[in-house]
Structure 1
Amino acid sequence: MIRTFGAALSAIALCLGLPACAEQPAKAPAAAAPNDADPALWVVKHKDTTVYLFGTIHVLKPGLTWFDEAVKTAFDRSDEVKLEIVMPDPATMQGLVQATGVAAPGTPPLTQRLPAAKRAAFTRAVTDLGLPADALDRYKPWLAATQLSVAPLSKLGYDSTNGPEEVITAAAKQAHKPLTGLETPEQQLGFFGSLSDAAQLQFLESTVDELPSLPKQMAAMVDEWARGDPDALAREMNDELKSSPEVAKVLLTDRNARWATWIKQRMARPGTVFIAVGAGHLAGPDSVQAYLAKMGVKAERVRY
C-alpha cells in the first residue's frame, strides 16, 4: 500500500489553491501558549555562496513557534528565497486545476472506476466532507486523492496561515527579498497528472484506506518535524511510497534530483539563498542532500 497522505502533503501548496468544495468548519482556537519547535535546517557553503535548506510542514496548528533562532537567522542572512512554488491568485489556480485535474468528457464517473469493494468507503469519505456523494466523480483520481487528504485538515485545527510557506512568503515580501519557485504551479499539477491511470487509482484507493489514521499520522509528522528528526519523518512520509515506484519517482526522487541540480548550479554564483521545501524532500536516502552528495556537494546540518 502507498502511504499517500505523505505524498499529498509534500505538495499541499497546490491543494490549498483548489476551490473550496464544501463549507469550511470554524478554525480551531489558538493555543493558550506557544510551543517551541526546532525543525531541521541544513547549509551548503562554497567560497562566497551559501544555500540554506529548510524542510516545511505546509499546515500547522496555532501556537507552534519555529520562525526564530537558527531558521530566522538563516532567512535574515539570505538575499533571495525559494519555495517549491509561489502560489498564483485563487482564480488562476482554479483555472489550472480545471484544465489538468478534471477528467475528459465521456470518462466514466470516478466512483464506477474504483473496485467495487472500495466504492462505499470512497463515497463515505466524500460525504463526510459535507459533499454530495458524486461531488468528485468528474475529478481525475490524483485530484480526488489530494482533495480527500487535505480537506479534513482544517477540521483537525490545521491551517495554512500557520504554515511555513505563508509565513516565509510574508516575511520575504516585507523584507523585499526576491521570492521565486523551484517549480511552477503548472509543473507541480503536471507531475500528478503524468501518473499512469493505474497509479492514480492506486493512489486514490490507498488514500481512502488511510483516512481513518489521518489525525494520528499528521500529529506524528508534525511532532517529528518540530523535533528536527528527519529520519523519523522519512519513515513516516516517504518509505511506503516505495511500494509504487512510479509514484515515488514522479513525486519524490525525480524532483529531488532536479532541485539538487539547481543548487549545484547556483553554487557557481555568489550570494545567499534560503530554500524551503516540504520536509519529506530533505529526509531519507533519496533526499535532496543525498543527490547533492553524489554531485560532490556537502550539506551540513545546522545544530541549534
Structure 2
Amino acid sequence: MTSIRSGLAILLAGALWLTGCGALSDEGRTDWPAPSPALWHVTGPGGTEGWLFGTVHALPRGLDWRNPALDAALDQSSVLVVEIADLNDGDAASAAFMARARQPGLPPLSERVPPKDRPALREFMDRADMDDAELAGMESWAAGLLLANGARRHEPSQGVDRALLADAASVVGLESFAEQYDRFDRLTHDQQEKLLLGLANDVDGDRSDDHIVAWLTGDLQTLEHETGIGILADPDLRQALLTNRNLAWMDRIESLLTEGRRPFIAVGAAHMLGRDGLPALLEARGFTVARLQ
C-alpha cells in the first residue's frame, strides 16, 4: 500500500499538475506529429523582449517536443522563468504541504462526499492504493492531490519544466511551494469537495491522446476545450487556481521584461489560454505579443 511518505516523495506542487496537460498516453506510441507547441514573442518599449511558452508537466517517455524555433528562443533569452524555481526540492515541497494539509476532527474521506459520489471516490482511492486510515486528518484538497499523484501512470520527471530547468543557467520562480499550497488551503469546504471529485473523475481516465497532440501542435482551440471540461471548468476553482495566479504573477513578469532580462516564461499551458491568459494580460499592459508557432 502506498504510504503518505512515499506519496510525498513524488508529490508535484498541486497547481502545477492541474494547470498543465497531464500525460495519459500509452508509452508505446511512436506516431506523434512533428513538434510545434505554441510559442509567443513579447516586445515592449526600448527593445524590451521575452517569450511565453506553455508547458506540460508530465509526458510519455521519449516524446520529442523541441524544435528549432523553440531552441532559438531559449538561446536568445537570458533567464528561465518558471512557476517553482526549486521544483526538484522534494523536502521543501513536503514541508510546505504537510504544514497545511492536516486538520483535526475531520470525518473519513470517503464520507465527505454525497452518497452518489462515493463509488467514484472509492475507485480513485483504490487506484492510488490508499484508504481512509492513511488519509485520516487530511483536508480534502490535500487528500485529493495525494490520490491524484498516486493514481498517475506517468512520472512528473518526464515533464517539460524539469527538462528546461536542467539546461538553464539562470532561473527565476514566480511563486513558492508555500504560496501554491496556500491557494488550496484557502478553498472552502464545497470547493475542496469539487476538487476532490473532479480529480477522482479526471486523473488518468479513459481519455484519448487529443490533449497531448493539441499541445504538441499548438492547437489552442482544443486545449481550451480540454481545460473547459476538467477541474478548471468549475468557475470558483478556475478563479482560485488559475486566474488569480496569473494576476499575481503579472507585476513580476512585467518587471523582468522592462528590466531587459529577456525572460523565457515557461508555465503550465492553461496559463496561456483565453482572456485571462498571460498573452492577453500582457497585451492589456501595453506589450505586443506575437505568436511565433
TM over 0.5, yes or no? yes
- In structure 2, the partner of 1:153 is 152
TM-score for both structures, normalised by structure 1: 0.80
Query: Is residue 19–residue 271 contact of structure 2 (8 Å, CA) maintained in 1?
Result: no
1:216 is the counterpart of 2:207: yes
- In structure 1, the partner of 2:99 is 99
Q: Alignment partner for residue 45 of structure 1, among 34, 43, 46?
A: 43
Query: Is residue 195–residue 246 contact of structure 1 (8 Å, CA) maintained in 2?
Result: no
Query: Is residue 227–residue 233 contact of structure 2 (8 Å, CA) maintained in 1?
Result: no
CA–CA separation in structure 2 for the residues paired with 1:161 and 1:242:
24
Aligned residue identity for 2:109: L
CA–CA separation in structure 2 for the residues paired with 1:226 and 1:261:
29
1:11-90 equivalences in 2 (<5 Å):
11-12=16-17, 36-46=34-44, 47-86=46-85, 87=87, 89-90=89-90
Q: Alignment partner for residue 188 of structure 2, among 193, 196, 209?
A: 196
Q: How far 1:13 moved relative to its partner?
A: 8.8
SS in 2 for 1:52: strand
- From the superposition, tell whether residues 116 and 122 of structure 1 become closer, same or farther in structure 2 (CA, over 3 Å): same
Q: How far 1:73 moved relative to its partner?
A: 1.2
- In structure 2, the partner of 1:21 is none
1:1-304 equivalences in 2 (<5 Å):
11-12=16-17, 36-46=34-44, 47-86=46-85, 87=87, 89-102=89-102, 104-154=103-153, 158-172=154-168, 177-211=169-203, 214-216=205-207, 219-238=209-228, 244-303=234-293
Q: How far 1:263 moved relative to its partner?
A: 2.4
Number of matched pairs: 274
SS in 1 for 2:131: coil
- From the superposition, tell whether residues 264 and 238 of structure 1 become closer, same or farther in structure 2 (CA, over 3 Å): farther
Query: Is residue 13–residue 85 contact of structure 1 (8 Å, CA) maintained in 2?
Result: no
Per-residue CA distance 1:37-94 (angstroms, 9 max, x = gap) = 2110011112332111000010000221123311111111111111111225222221
- Give the root-mean-square deviation of aligned CA atoms: 2.7
- In structure 2, the partner of 1:4 is none
CA–CA separation in structure 2 for the residues paired with 1:166 and 1:297:
28
Give the share of equivalent positions with the same residue, in percent. Answer: 27
What stretches of structure 1 of length at least 5 have no aligned partner?
1-7, 16-27
CA–CA separation in structure 2 for the residues paired with 1:257 and 1:214:
31
Query: Is residue 126–residue 136 contact of structure 1 (8 Å, CA) maintained in 2?
Result: no
Query: Is residue 129–residue 150 contact of structure 2 (8 Å, CA) maintained in 1?
Result: no
Query: Is residue 80–residue 264 contact of structure 2 (8 Å, CA) maintained in 1?
Result: yes
- In structure 2, the partner of 1:24 is none
What stretches of structure 2 of length at least 5 have no aligned partner?
1-12, 21-25
Aligned residue identity for 2:177: P
CA–CA separation in structure 1 for the residues paired with 2:33 and 2:157:
17
Q: How far 1:245 moved relative to its partner?
A: 2.8
